[in-house]
Amino acid sequence: TQLLEQSPQFLSIQEGENLTVYCNSSSVFSSLQWYRQEPGEGPVLLVTVVTGGEVKKLKRLTFQFGDARKDSSLHITAAQPGDTGLYLCAGAPQGGSEKLVFGKGTKLTVNP
């Protein structure tokens, strides 16, 4: 079983602060995806990273895939209350697995 560990589990910060959340595994993934989920809704895809060492930016969000393709990070600059939500990482296991494995998520609260 390939597990994805996310940290921290909970994060509460003030508007304007920066933050980083992590997604780690002992297994290699062919890609990692990040989703954001709001209460009572399904997850929404933010980004997919495929190449080891890859960095992608989405406005104030920066995503990085580890060189060994076992870990990923999400950095948010100048967080806003609208960034509040559950951030989930999901991995496509190496070997062509056709389903995603999800971490437990980081619940982010950005206070005004």
Partner 1 sequence: DTGVSQNPRHKITKRGQNVTFRCDPISEHNRLYWYRQTLGQGPEFLTYFQNEAQLEKSRLLSDRFSAERPKGSFSTLEIQRTEQGDSAMYLCASSPRTEANYGYTFGSGTRLTVV
Do strands 10-14 and 106-111 pair parallel, antiparallel, or not at all (unpaired)? Answer: parallel
Query: Three-class SS of residue 9?
Result: coil
Site for partner 1 in 12-41 (CB under 8 A): 30-31, 33, 35, 40-41
* Nearest C-alpha neighbor of 108 from the set 51, 28, 57, 46: 46
Q: Of how many residues is the chain composed?
A: 112
In this complex, which beta carbon is closest to partner 1, that of residue 96 or of residue 112? 96
Question: Is residue 58 within the footprint of partner 1 (CB under 8 A)?
Answer: no
Binding site for partner 1 (CB under 8 A): 4, 6, 30-31, 33, 35, 40-45, 48, 50, 88, 90, 92-93, 96-105
